[in-house]
Amino acid sequence: TQLLEQSPQFLSIQEGENLTVYCNSSSVFSSLQWYRQEPGEGPVLLVTVVTGGEVKKLKRLTFQFGDARKDSSLHITAAQPGDTGLYLCAGDYGNNRLAFGKGNQVVVIP
């Protein structure tokens, strides 16, 4: 069973458009992370959210943690080709385990 469901699985948009991807679960997490992975490389951490309702901004990326700490969203404003990649959410569900979703593949067309 997948603890974290990410949607949409694939998203293709034009440069300059906005997009939002989602990470949902029926479980409560003590923290939730977003990673970005580019082809042939390992994932790299973008942000960690800990508090329910928390909003964090990283340049044009805005991350939100749901009030109940079960879900999160990533919004990209004015997407650029450099934003292309696989976005993975990961939830800390204790016992030193981090569960990953299947990812949101984002393609930004110049």
For another protein, the binding residue among 43, 70, 76, 85 (CB under 8 A) is 43
Q: How far is the CB of 17 from another protein (least distance, A)?
A: 26
Told to check if 50 binds another protein by CB under 8 A, we report yes
> Is 11 or 50 the residue whose CB approaches another protein more closely?
50
Under the binding rule (CB under 8 A), the answer on residue 23 touching another protein is no
Which neighbouring-strand residues pair with 69? none
d(CA 66, CA 9): 20
Q: Which is nearer to another protein, 42 or 110 (CB)?
A: 42
Say whether the peptide bond before residue 8 is cis (omega within 30 degrees of 0).
yes
**Any contact of residue 106 with another protein (CB under 8 A)?**
no
Q: Is 21 in the site for another protein (CB under 8 A)?
A: no
CA distance 31 to 28: 9
Exposure b/e, 43-58, CB count within 10 A at least 16 = b: beebbebeeeebeeee
Using CB under 8 A as the binding rule, whether residue 98 contacts another protein is answered as yes
Which residues of the chain form contacts with another protein (CB under 8 A)?
Answer: 2, 31, 33, 35, 40-45, 48, 50, 88, 90, 92, 96-103
